[in-house]
Amino acid sequence: MENNELIVRVTEKARLWLGDEYDAETRADVKRMLDADDKTELVDSFYKDLEFGTGGLRGIMGAGSNRMNIYTVGAATQGLANYLKENFKDLPQIKVAVGHDVRNNSRKFAEIVADIFSANGIKVYLFDSFRPTPELSYAIRYFGCQSGVNITASHNPKEYNGYKAYWEDGAQIIAPHDVNIIDHVNRIKSVGDIRFEGNKSLIETVGPEVDKAFLADIKSLQLSPEVVKEFSDLKIVYTPIHGTGVTLIPESLRNYGFTNIINVPEQDVPSGDFPTVESPNPEVPSAMAMAIAKAKEVDADIVMASDPDADRIGCVIRDNSGEYVLLNGNQIVMILLYYIITRNVELGRMTGNEYVVKTIVTTETIKAIADNAGVKMFDCYTGFKWIADVIRNNESTLRYIGGGEESYGFLAETFCRDKDAVSAISLMAEACAWARSKGMDFQGLLQDIYLKNGFSREVGISVVRPGKTGADEIQAMMKNFRENPVKELGGSDVVVVKDYATLTVSDMRTGKSEKMDMPTTSNVLQYFTEDGTKVSIRPSGTEPKIKFYIEVKAPMATVADYDGAIAAADAKIELVKKHLGI
């Protein structure tokens, strides 16, 4: 479409937003965009409708059909309400929980969501203020709800907000409900279809009651209370990076028995502007800079952070030279699962029916840890809705003891069904104390895990290709990888190729293929080499990028080999990148 045609189309669409059914603030904002000489903002705001996808909504806040605002949030909620009334028509009272993070407009959107649900005769449990995302998941189960909504954009930039929809088990929605809800949302064609006038008698404010219950259940996960008592003065620097973690995480650490929790005062201030960081993402080193500076000041043993909605964990430890270094998401999951499994063994709690879960792009060292302990391991797709699906499918027969993914998410419990930084940070601190009781610092624990289970090094690379031409290029890249499979990576032959789009696993040595058992297809390719290298390739579902996950192995016979193993692995990663053309 020519640029002039596009401007004409979006102008016509935008003028509809000047009608009386829209509030004065929205009309004024749209008029400003229409009157501006530069039509870039107008086009970006109206060239398409913000899509309700399988994870809900996420977008930049502002007026327009492609923005997060009370009307796009309203349409999503009305569609979800219609589906709930259809799906649970035999229940005398449908119930939902509604939460939100610290972002600008999050409270406003959450109250509108509550009003719309209540206007549709649905009972609403609305948190009195911002809370961690995992607590919303917990509240759904606590109150026996059929669904839930959390207003959050996780660790996205401050301009963004989002809408996450959950089902009755506290997990984010998967098939068949995801596509059914999307269909109902797409049926909302006008503002007049949305019931904005709430029924206040159906909205119940949720206060400290759920906080106390959630924290008590998290305390029940503790495995080493006597060790924490011995090392209660462990120096822990924690930052919520202006987010919701400030409400529960310091208290949870104190519940576990830790007494020396050191905060970063500037970042304890809840703010949707995230004023002290460029990006409120704990996997980005710059987001951890203030916490690391505080750690150096107080000589801390460990540094931890949560992202704005407190579902992801960041962790910094000291290396052999005393420098503070950021753990990657694979290492965090690896340490937590190793600790939980080892302590269960030490406590005599293993019965042979325990299992752990990881996503397909997460390190294979976790499989080695599980295999060495005789624990079953499940692989699933990226995203905690799939880990929750594994829990759902096994909760009557097997005991879940932990699961996580490389993107800094971990879940230690089943009373919540989304990744949880509150429990993860509490258990990570406990693991640090436990390592001390074994005569190791945290770096020593990490090295011990590698010695027992094999050394691995992982890196994630995102190739950004914005716009329609970028989307076409990403599609062409995936097509090329499928039609011209990589035969060698890092000096080792590719021996197995997994294509999750066709659910086919192919042995390149024999030429034989067989089907994989997965709940659905996904646009992901994986290569496995003879020497243990694994490469996963997938387009992002939410951003204009294609992601490469590279994992390589290197020999490590003793602790003295650690630095050499890192150097050898890094050299191999560079070679793999060349073979992939990235």
Sign of CA dihedral 72, 78, 83, 88: positive
CB distance 344 to 223 below 8 Å: yes
Please tell me the distance from the alpha carbon of residue 311 to that of residue 375, in angstroms, as a whole number. Answer: 25
90 secondary structure, DSSP code: T
Q: Which two tokens stand for residue 148?
A: 């839930």
Q: Could you please report the per-residue DSSP string of 150-217?
A: EE--TTS-TTEEEEEEEETTSSBP-TTHHHHHHHHHHT--SGGGS--S--GGGEEEE-HHHHHHHHHH
Which domains does the chain carry? Answer: 48-206 (3.40.120.10), 214-453 (3.40.120.10), 455-580 (3.30.310)
Which among 514, 487, 520, 480 has a CA at the least distance from the CA of 498? 514
Please tell me the distance from the alpha carbon of residue 509 to that of residue 314, in angstroms, as a whole number. Answer: 40
Longest dimension (CA), the chain: 73
CA distances to 495, 507, 509, 515, 533 from 512, in Å? 11, 5, 8, 11, 21
Mean pLDDT by runs of 10 across the 582 residues of the chain is 80 95 96 95 91 86 96 97 98 98 98 98 98 98 98 94 97 93 93 97 97 98 98 98 98 98 97 96 94 98 98 96 95 98 97 97 97 97 95 96 97 98 98 97 96 96 81 89 92 96 96 95 96 94 83 96 96 95 89
CA distances to 484, 529, 548 from 535, in Å? 15, 9, 7
471 by DSSP, 3-state: which? helix
Q: Please give the torsion angle defined by the CA atoms of residues 500, 502, 506 and 508, in that order, rounded to the nearest 10 degrees.
A: -90
Catalytic residues: 154
Please tell me the distance from the alpha carbon of residue 518 to that of residue 498, in angstroms, as a whole number. Answer: 12
Identity of the residue numbered 545: K
pLDDT of residue 499: 97
pLDDT of residue 1: 42
pLDDT of residue 194: 98
pLDDT of residue 541: 66
